[in-house]
Amino acid sequence: MRTLLWFRGKDLRLADHLALRSATDQGELIPLFVLDPFFFAPARAQATPYRIQFLLDSLRELELALAQRGSRLVLAEGKSHELVPRLARQWQVDRVVAQRWCAPLGRERDRRVAEALEVPFELFEGETLHVPGTLRTTQGKPFAVFSAFARAFSAGPTPPAPLPAPERLPALPRGVSLPSSLPGLQQLGLQRNELVLTGGEQRARERLAAFLQGPARNYHEARDRLDLDATSRLSADLKFGTLSAREVWTEARAALSRRARPAVTSFLNELVWREFAHALLWEHPTLLEEPARAEWERFPWRGEGTEWQAWVAGQTGYPVVDAAARQLLASGFVPNRARMIAASFLTKHLLVDYRLGEAHYQRWLTDGDWANNNLGWQWCAGCGSDAQPYFRVFNPTLQAQKFDPEGRYVRRWVPELARLPAAHLHTPWLAPASALQAAGVRLGRDYPAPIVDHAAARQRFLEVAKKHFGVGRAPSA
């Protein structure tokens, strides 16, 4: 049996890879990665620079790991749905195997590949802890509410333990050439950004171990703090599959269960949010275009005006919102609480369409993931199936004072305010002239005055929402 194992960017590992296990159990193996212009054409790569950097790191390590075990990663350039069937024919494989994708783009690609292939195309699980679409209500319907989904999740089977990486792999069969090599960042018109996490299975496992030995123990209390490195930073690893969700789940349970029950429960709960996001997108692929709740269709969102531009550039005059915007552009990461504050500000204070924010995050986040990103934006905007109620509008100042109490987060990303004392840092527009002068800040020149007033913006959003929903039609919490 000759198997073509197609790595597709959400499974860049050798451990706990069910398609790889199935292929190594049975004869000859050809590991393939397609350099599809959809991602790798320079203009496309430049549109998602940090993910491409992480992806190339991970592929380089995968190449090495396969070679160390006696195989090779075959790289080929072309459109996946044309190239994979052509190579399968050329190399006379008996079947093609891969890990299943939840996202609609991948499902459509797989449909086209399956149609064009003359041999079986077998998809294996591994993106999520459980097979997407299998967790349903007792009436057989998809869950719309997280708490019910989480209850069903815990009542279900424990995610299986992860498989170890194979120690040896079969050599490439004769006649299989290596048509391409990995492009360097510069070939794609990009430069390395040292603030972006290094990709690859090895580094992912080190990140997991460091988290479990340190911040994990206090995760439940510190995870929302913007000034502490209190979370796992595994989101890009989970997105690219440099670690499987099952490995993270199993290791976290094993490492923490005895001594830190609330912390482990809280961390595992976030992995269940990830499952929920993937289940929602699996069940409702249109979520990427439309709000989950029909009453939000045609909501009078605004577009890309000057306020949108101020939000993107980190020039809204609300330091915590600006810190999040600038951190995103500079490093490809934003902590969850800051994502929530920034997304709430864009959609509620500025009334800008959440889909613009979602696309902007999808472009710049290293962990940019269709399912999680969409869930996050729809939750913050209020239109998600289990979202923050529309009438709850975050106060960015109170959020900043609570989650960045000494202002370390804001000082790092908004350096022009760094010398303001903590008491004024989150509200420079209220600071006395003497404090601004002592800190070298001229409001309106070094740093903007707020582009909207919080109370007025909140009121405006509520009025627009009430008018849109009409009396008696407002969505319930």
Task: Verify binding: residue 450, ligand FAD, rule CB under 6 A.
Answer: no
Looking up tokens 């979520």 gives 287
Task: Report DSSP state, residue 142.
Answer: B
Site for ligand FAD in 138-167 (CB under 6 A): none
Under the binding rule (CB under 6 A), the answer on residue 367 touching ligand FAD is yes
Q: Are strands 95-99 and 121-124 parallel, antiparallel or unpaired?
A: parallel
252: contact with ligand FAD by CB under 6 A:
no
Instruction: Provide CB contacts within 8 A for 256, sequence distance 6+.
Output: 212, 216, 217, 263, 264, 267
Closest contact distance (angstroms) between CB of 277 and ligand FAD is: 5
Which residue among 49, 159, 291, 335 contacts ligand FAD (CB under 6 A)? 335
In the complex with ligand FAD, the residue whose CB is nearer, 48 or 232, is 232
Rounded to 5 degrees, what are φ and ψ at 382? 105, -5
Residue closer to ligand FAD, measured from CB, 58 or 232 = 232
Inter-residue contact 347 to 381 (CB < 8 Å)? yes
Binding of ligand FAD by 251 (CB under 6 A): no
Nearest residue (beta carbon) to ligand FAD: 376
Contact string (CB under 6 A) for ligand FAD, positions 206-245, x = contact: -----------------x-------xxxxx--xx------
Determine the Cα–Cα distance for residues 182 and 432; give it in Å rounded to an integer.
Answer: 56
- Buried/exposed code over 282-296 (b: 16+ C-beta within 10 A; e: otherwise): bbbbebbeebbbeeb
Listing DSSP states for 432-460 in one string gives -HHHHHHTT--BTTTBPPPSS-HHHHHHH
Interface with ligand FAD, residue 273, by CB under 6 A: yes
Question: How is residue 294 written in tokens?
Answer: 């029909």
Among 40, 296, 361, 409, binds ligand FAD (CB under 6 A): 361
Among 212, 271, 417, 452, binds ligand FAD (CB under 6 A): 271
Q: Is 162 helix (H, G, I), strand (E, B) or coil?
A: coil
Name the minimum Å distance from CB 448 to ligand FAD.
23
Q: What angle do CA 318, 223, 356 make, to 5 degrees?
A: 45
Give the nearer residue to ligand FAD in terms of CB position, either 3 or 235.
235
Binding site for ligand FAD (CB under 6 A): 223, 231-235, 238-239, 270-271, 273-274, 277, 335-336, 339-340, 343, 361, 365, 367-369, 372-373, 375-377, 380
